[in-house]
């Protein structure tokens, strides 16, 4: 194929086939991709609250919340969080339980714990200012390669790569990458490609455009290539005719089924709640006492022994109140809920770090996961 002459029109570029694209220099192709995607983004991007701000703190909070969570879910949490903790100093000086309380229901609670820890570090080591480069950003707890790149690019206009699930899908299709995208060498190639594309004007907007394209047009199923995609004539995957088969990802493991019990244990006008350990699933959150059932065990036959073992209290005559089902990333939990009329003995915790006897009207005030809120709804 003859080389493209300087000043080739968009129409000439549109006539180039997928096979011929390999002959275009990387720089020329990157420039064309950037121009088209930014023009599309300027006209078509969603009006999201974090896009109305250049405040590095607000952008950092949004990026933490958006990890593994849908945009529609994040918006009200983001707005409440910034109302309660409007700047990094407010977050750093807040009680950790208050941070968990505002976060409760959003899931992946280690994100909230890391935000609080990172805010303290920003105040102590960075004079209260969010770092403006990926090296310093990655020193913050919970800030990995993606979040550092996103904050540096969007808040500070640094030409840094950003690779999330949407970007993996878009680049895999654009470049017709057939290899397993979980392979280390393929992951590095995607970061390299994203890094080259980020070099140029408006890197923050460009990275958001790439993610926006994946979220709204280049979707996992039924991508809207023909009428909406600004990249369709530059897309190798579309030229191959099976764009929906990309990216090539290993099948997810099905969540492991687990059965457990939880108990409403009253003492006078209060009920017992326990706080989970500082590490692990639902760390630091409050819940009704209970524990995992042995395989194929009958819940009513084991709940008394589980409570004795895990919290040291003696109970009898369990009354079944129903079940709550909840799916975590790796677990599918079926929680059997029981009421008891009275308890005897002194609380001796085996795995939890603290306990409280709480008036029922104050239960919603404690930092707790959606699972515990669903359990309390069943009981109350």
Residue with tokens 């707790």: 368
Q: Residue 287 catalytic?
A: no
Residue with tokens 């003995």: 345
Contact 347, 312 (CB under 8 A): yes
Per the residue annotation, which of 63, 160, 212, 287 is the catalytic one? 63
From residue 42, give the alpha-carbon distance in Å to each of 58, 82, 150, 214, 221: 21, 26, 19, 16, 25
Query: Three-state secondary structure along the chain?
Result: CCCCCCCCCHHHHHCCCCHHHHHCCHHHHHHHHHHHHHHHHHHHCCCCHHHHCCCHHHHHHHHHHHCCCCHHHHHHHHHHHHHHCCCHHHHHCCCHHHHHHHHCCCCCCHHHHHHHHHHHHHHHHCCCCCCCCHHHHCCCCCCCHHHHHHHHHHHHCCCCCCCCHHHHHHHHHHHCCCCECCCHHHHHHHHHHHHHHHCCCCHHHHHHHHHHHHHHCCCCCCCCHHHHCCCHHHCHHHHHCCHHHCCECCCCCCCEEEEEEEEECEECCEEEEEECCCCCCCCCCEECCEEECCCCCCHHHHHHHHHHHHHCCECCCCEEEEEEEEECCCEEEEEEEEECCCCECCCCCCCCCEEEEECHHHHHHCCECHHHHHHHHHHC
Handedness of CA 216, 218, 223, 229 (dihedral sign): positive
Annotated catalytic sites, by residue? 63
């Amino acid at each position: 194929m003859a080389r493209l002459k300087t000043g080739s029109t968009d129409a000439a570029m549109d006539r180039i086939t997928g096979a011929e694209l390999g002959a275009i220099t990387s720089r020329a192709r990157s420039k064309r991709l950037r121009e088209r995607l930014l023009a599309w983004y300027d006209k078509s991007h969603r009006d999201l609250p974090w896009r109305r701000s250049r405040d590095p703190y607000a952008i950092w909070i949004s990026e933490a919340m958006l990890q593994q969570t849908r945009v529609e879910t994040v918006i009200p949490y983001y707005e409440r969080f910034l109302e309660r903790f409007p700047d990094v100093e407010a977050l750093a000086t807040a009680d950790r339980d208050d941070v968990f309380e505002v976060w409760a229901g959003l899931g992946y609670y280690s994100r909230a714990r890391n935000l609080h820890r990172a805010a303290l570090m920003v105040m102590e080591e960075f004079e209260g200012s969010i770092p403006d480069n990926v090296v310093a950003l990655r020193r913050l707890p919970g800030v990995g390669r993606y979040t550092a790149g996103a904050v540096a690019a969007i808040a500070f206009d640094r030409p840094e790569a950003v690779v999330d699930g949407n970007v993996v899908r878009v680049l895999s299709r654009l470049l017709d990458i057939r290899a397993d995208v979980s392979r280390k060498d393929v992951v590095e190639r995607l970061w390299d490609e994203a890094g080259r594309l980020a070099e140029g004007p408006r890197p923050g907007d460009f990275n958001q455009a790439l993610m926006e394209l994946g979220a709204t047009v280049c979707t996992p199923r039924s991508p809207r290539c023909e009428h909406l995609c600004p990249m369709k004539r530059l897309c190798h995957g579309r030229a191959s005719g099976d764009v929906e088969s990309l990216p090539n990802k290993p099948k997810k493991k099905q969540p492991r089924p687990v059965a457990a019990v939880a108990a409403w244990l009253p003492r006078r006008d209060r009920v017992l709640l326990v706080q989970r350990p500082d590490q692990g699933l639902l760390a630091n959150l409050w819940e009704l006492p209970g524990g995992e059932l042995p395989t194929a065990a009958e819940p009513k036959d084991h709940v008394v022994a589980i409570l004795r073992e895990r919290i040291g209290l003696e109970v009898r005559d369990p009354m079944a109140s129903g079940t709550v089902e909840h799916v975590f990333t790796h677990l599918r939990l079926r929680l059997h809920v029981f009421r008891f009329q009275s308890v005897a003995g002194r609380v001796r915790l085996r795995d939890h770090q603290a306990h409280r006897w709480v008036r029922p009207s104050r239960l919603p005030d404690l930092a707790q996961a959606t699972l515990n809120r669903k359990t309390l709804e069943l009981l109350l």
